[in-house]
Amino acid sequence: MIQNGRALRQQHVPSELVHREGEVDALTASLGGGPSGMTENTIVTGPSGAGKTSTTRYVLRKLEDARLDVETGFVDCIGANSSTGALAGLFRDSDRSAPLDPRANARTVLINRLRELDDEFVAVLDEADVLEDKQVIHALYGLPNVTTVLISVNYDDLLINCDTRIQKRIRTFQHVEFDQYGDAQLADILTKRANVGLVPGSIAEDTIWYMADQAAGDARLAITILRLAAKQCTDRRQDEITTDVVDDVVENARSEIASRYIEKLSTHQRILYEVIKQEGTIQAGDLYAQYRERASDPMAERTLRSYLNSMEREGLIEQQGGGRYTEYALPA
DNA sequence: CTTCCACCGGAACCGTGGGAAA
DNA sequence: TTTCCCACGGTTCCGGTGGAAG
* CB-to-strand C under 7 Å, chain A 49-88: 82-85
Residue nearest to nucleotide C13 (CA to C1'): A302
What sections of chain A are H helices per DSSP?
Answer: 5-8, 21-30, 52-66, 83-93, 106-115, 135-141, 155-160, 164-171, 183-197, 205-215, 219-235, 243-262, 267-279, 284-294, 301-313
- Domain membership flag for residue A115: yes
Residues of chain A above pLDDT 90, percent = 59
Nearest residue for C7, CA–C1': A105
Tell whether A31 and A93 lie within a shared domain.
Answer: yes
Q: Are residues A63 and A160 in the same domain?
A: yes
In the beta sheet, which residues pair with residue A70?
A120
Q: Point out the domain boundary residue: A216, A231, A262.
A: A262
DSSP code of residue A130: G
Q: Is A154 contained in some domain?
A: yes
From residues 95-124 of A, which are strand C contacts by CB within 7 A?
A: 102-108
Q: How many Å apart are A54 CA and C20 C1'?
A: 52
Output the CA–CA distances (angstroms, integers) from residue A188 to A1, A183, A210, A223, A228, in the order listed.
20, 9, 12, 12, 18
Are A246 and A275 contained in the same domain? Answer: no
Give which of A27, A54, A52 is closest to A41, Cα–Cα. Answer: A27
Span A147-205, pLDDT tens digits: 999 999 988 878 877 777 888 889 999 999 999 999 999 999 999 999 999 999 999 99
- A228 and A281 in one domain? no
Query: Is residue A72 domain-shared with residue A165, that is, in the same domain?
Result: yes
The pLDDT score that the predictor gives to residue A229 is 97
Same domain, A274 and A242: no
In a domain, A12, yes or no: no
**Contact residues for strand B with beta carbon within 7 Å:** A 99, 101, 103-106, 109, 283-286, 288, 301-302, 305, 308-309, 319, 322-324, 326
- Average pLDDT value for residue range A244-261: 92
Answer yes or no: do A286 and A139 share one domain.
Answer: no
Assess whether A227 (CB) lies less than 7 A from strand C. no
Based on the fold, state whether residues A209 and A190 are members of the same structural domain.
yes
User: What's the CA gap between A184 and A212, in Å, rounded?
Assistant: 8
Q: Same domain for A134 and A242?
A: no
Taking CA A84 as the corner, what is the angle to CA A143 and CA A76, rounded to the nearest 5 degrees? 90
Nucleotides of C under 7 A from a protein CB: 5-14, 16-20
For the cut 70, the answer to whether the pLDDT of residue A29 exceeds it is yes
Measure A151 CA to C10 C1' (Å): 30
User: Which CATH number goes with the domain that contains A251?
Assistant: 1.10.8.60
pLDDT in tens, A128-148: 988 877 888 888 988 888 999
Whether pLDDT at A206 is above 90: yes
Percent over 70 (pLDDT), chain A: 96
Query: What's the pLDDT at A97?
Result: 59
Q: Are residues A46 and A134 in the same domain?
A: yes
Q: Is the pLDDT assigned to residue A323 strictly greater than 80?
A: no
Residue A249: inside a domain: yes
Q: What pLDDT sits at residue A101?
A: 54
Residue at which a domain ends, from A156, A177, A198: A177
Q: Which domain holds residue A27?
A: 20-177
Please check whether residues A195 and A321 belong to one and the same domain: no
Q: List bases, strand B, within 7 Å of protein CB.
A: 5-11, 16-20
User: Does A10 map to a domain?
Assistant: no
Distance A325 CA to B6 C1' (A): 7
Same domain, A129 and A247: no
User: Sorting pLDDT into bands at 50, 70 and 90, what band is A99?
Assistant: low
How much is the average pLDDT of A52-74?
93
Spanning CA of A92 to C1' of C9, the rounded length in angstroms is: 23
Q: What total number of domains does chain A contain?
A: 3
Q: Domain boundary at A262, A297, A321, which?
A: A262
Q: Helices A83-93 and A106-115 sit at what angle, rounded to 10 degrees?
A: 40
Bigger pLDDT: A246 or A32?
A246
Nearest nucleotide (C1') to the CA of residue A322? C18
Res A130: pLDDT: 83
Task: From the CA of A279 to the C1' of C21: give the distance in Å.
Answer: 28
Mean pLDDT (chain A) is: 90
CATH number where A320 lies: 1.10.10.10
Distance in angstroms: CA A128, C1' B10: 24
How many Å from the CA of A295 to C1' of B9?
23
CA-to-C1' span, A278 to C19 (A)? 27
Instruction: Find and give the residue nearest to B4, measured CA to C1'.
Output: A324
